[in-house]
Amino acid sequence: MEIDFRWGIRIPLRDGANLSATAYIPKSQNEKTPCIFALTPYVADRCHEYGVAFATRGFAFVVVDVRGRGNSDGRFHPFSHESDDGYDVVEWLAQQPFCNGKVAMWGVSYLAHSQWATARARPPHLATIVPAAAPFVGFDFPMRNNIFCPFVVRWLTLIAGRSSQIETFSDGEFWSSKFREWHVSGRSFSEIDSAGVGAPVFQEWLAHPELNDYWEKRNPTAADYQKINIPILTITGSYDDDQPGALKHYTEHLRNADPEAQASHYLIIGPWDHKGTRIPSSEFGGLKFGSASVIDMKKLHLEWYSWVLCNGPKPEFLEKRVAYYVMGVERWRYADSLDEVTEKHETLFLDSSCNATDASTAGTLEALPGTGQPDTYVYDPRKTDGPEVDAEAQADGNSVVDPQLMLALRGRQLVYHTAEIQRDLELGGFFRLRAWISIDCPDTDLYVSVHEIDRDGRMIRLSTDAIRARYRERLSASTLIQTADPLLYDFRNFTFVSRQIKRGHRLRLIIAPMGRLIGATFTQKNYNGGGVVSLESSDQGRPVTVRLFHDAAHLSALEVPLGRVE
């Protein structure tokens, strides 16, 4: 099918500004068609492949540069204008000669944020959205659990100015070097943007370190979700960095929407990283999956749009409202709800007979409550020498960790193992850790991760969570720690996991400081002083002694989600 390609379209907004758009319109069709569009900060050219794919199959596709990016008018301020601007774009497109009045949205990551922001405004002609890897602003980007990451600076470089700085952004070695340089320098996190590329926005974000009104106004409210009543297809991955945000949008919509809207919201969780939600791959980060993991995403999108916009058949892949891939079994399973993925939680209590700071002297995860003495590590954020920094850099971004890297962290973390699993065990859902912990500083960061350990000792990362101690009670307000007594830390924001653990393998739980855990070079450093974290440097740094209790009065336990096997 021939395509009518139109560049430099100007879309008027309510305040007099104009957005720039590129259109791909089926040329040989006489009838009007539904129109799919993307609202992007990454410049329209990067969506060309999908524009051609959709237009050659009978859908008009329009890529729109957000305000202040590409050739659009105005000043770009991330996550601030997509709601009103998206509404205006929908209603303008619905009136165009090539559109039959049905408008849909498409896109991954920021483009998925644009979809939720537009749906929040409820433009009358918006017929469906398909958000893939959608961030929930403030919850998982630019901070997760109120902990920022240096990647924010890298991303702000990508969208600096009006064009995309794609070559600079894509140079992983360059950014790893820059972030390691900052990590060992002792400078405050506010100084990490040494080039000043994203300075105004970056400093504005750092001035709002808590999940409060500043962030919440960038996402739909409960009342907004209640009124969103269009078909939705949410897509994320087990290793998608924006999985927490994508699933928060999903769960908040289902919690507040009416039954009709709930019934038309579908969810796919593949064995993918962030990129894989757009271009699925059977291999990344040291992991390999079966051929079933690589679904034809363009085909699925086209089938979805044909179903909801053109009364076509329902996509065959969507057998039920939730589709999730079980790693290890290498197949898709289906459920009517996300909760249905989990058959039950098995409680494993933490215990040890000696200080569990090493894989070779690890504590245990077992069915009976612990009785041992507390386990202890000391972390000094001012110290940056030693092999662990190189170990962290090597492991960053990998889901399979060389067991030799654990040696670099000996004595600087707490490690707990299950016994060898006696039968194949399928995990499905969310871990939860309730741990009694004491610290002797006003604040520190605690990072937890759960791994599968195979017969060769390889670590396969399953799920992670983190708590900044001052936000132990809630993310919306800071409460510094003023006691050396043990307090309950409830880690309940683990990422989703779906994997079969083979017979003879084990589970490993690691609790460690962010500044010493594998991969933690690339997070904001908390110097434990109790001041403004982004402004503190090594001058305010304090060592912290962390004790984890697991006795009769302090039952620390990991809740393991067991999957529902058909």
Same domain, 219 and 233: yes
Q: What is the largest CA-CA distance in the chain?
A: 78
Same domain, 499 and 524: yes
Q: How far apart are CA 387 and CA 391, in angstroms?
A: 6
Whether the pLDDT of residue 517 is over 70: the answer is: no
Q: How far apart are CA 550 and CA 287, in angstroms?
A: 34
Q: How far apart are CA 276 and CA 347, in angstroms?
A: 32
Closest of 79, 83, 43, 77 to residue 63, by C-alpha: 43
Whether the pLDDT of residue 490 is over 60: the answer is: yes
Last residue of a domain, one of 337, 361, 385: 337
Whether the pLDDT of residue 29 is over 80: the answer is: no
Return the pLDDT at 401.
64
Average of pLDDT values for 102-131?
98
Closest of 269, 423, 426, 452 to residue 342, by C-alpha: 426
Same domain, 411 and 509: yes
Last residue of a domain, one of 286, 316, 337: 337
Number of CB atoms found within 10 A of residue 283's CB: 11
Return the pLDDT at 522.
66
Return the pLDDT at 294.
96
Q: How far apart are CA 549 and CA 364, in angstroms?
A: 13
Predicted confidence band of residue 164 (pLDDT cuts 50, 70, 90): confident
Same domain, 377 and 281: no
Average of pLDDT values for 6-23?
96
CB 444 within 8 A of CB 547: no
Query: Could you read off the pLDDT of 236-273 as tens digits, one per residue?
Result: 999 999 999 999 999 999 999 999 999 999 999 999 99
Same domain, 226 and 307: yes
Return the pLDDT at 358.
87
Whether the pLDDT of residue 173 is over 60: the answer is: yes
Number of domains into which the chain is organized: 3
Return the pLDDT at 408.
60
Residue at 270: amino acid letter: G
Same domain, 329 and 350: no
Residue at 422: amino acid letter: Q
Whether the pLDDT of residue 146 is over 70: the answer is: yes
Last residue of a domain, one of 337, 360, 376: 337
Residue at 306: amino acid letter: S
Same domain, 355 and 316: no
Whether the pLDDT of residue 391 is over 90: the answer is: no
Query: Could you read off the pLDDT of 41-78 as tens digits, one per residue?
Result: 999 888 999 999 999 999 999 999 999 999 999 999 99
Same domain, 332 and 477: no
Helix (H, G, I), strand (E, B) or coil at 39: strand
Question: Whole-number mean pLDDT of the chain?
Answer: 92
Predicted confidence band of residue 292 (pLDDT cuts 50, 70, 90): very high
Q: DSSP string spanning 245-281? A: HHHHHHHHHHHHS-HHHHHTEEEEEEEEETGGGTS--
Return the pLDDT at 514.
82
Return the pLDDT at 523.
85
Q: Two tokens at 218?
A: 């960038």
End-to-end CA distance of the chain: 43
CATH number of the domain that residue 283 is part of: 3.40.50.1820
Same domain, 280 and 396: no
Average of pLDDT values for 464-493?
97
Q: How far apart are CA 78 and CA 83, in angstroms?
A: 12
Closest of 214, 166, 341 to residue 269, by C-alpha: 341
Return the pLDDT at 393.
42
Average of pLDDT values for 393-408?
58
Q: Two tokens at 553?
A: 């009065």
Q: How far apart are CA 71 and CA 90, in angstroms?
A: 19
Return the pLDDT at 407.
62
Q: Two tokens at 86?
A: 């998206």
**HEC assignment per residue over 314-348:** CCCCCCCCEEEEEECCCEEEEECCCHHHEEEEEEE
CATH number of the domain that residue 501 is part of: 2.60.120.260
Q: Two tokens at 474?
A: 């809630």
DSSP state letter for 141: B
Same domain, 349 and 329: no
Cβ-based neighbours of 520, under 8 Å, separated by 6 or more:
392, 447, 512, 513, 514
CB 94 within 8 A of CB 103: yes
The domain of 225 spans 3-139+214-337
Return the pLDDT at 359.
85
Same domain, 431 and 538: yes
Same domain, 33 and 170: no
Q: How far apart are CA 499 and CA 487, in angstroms?
A: 32
Return the pLDDT at 91.
98
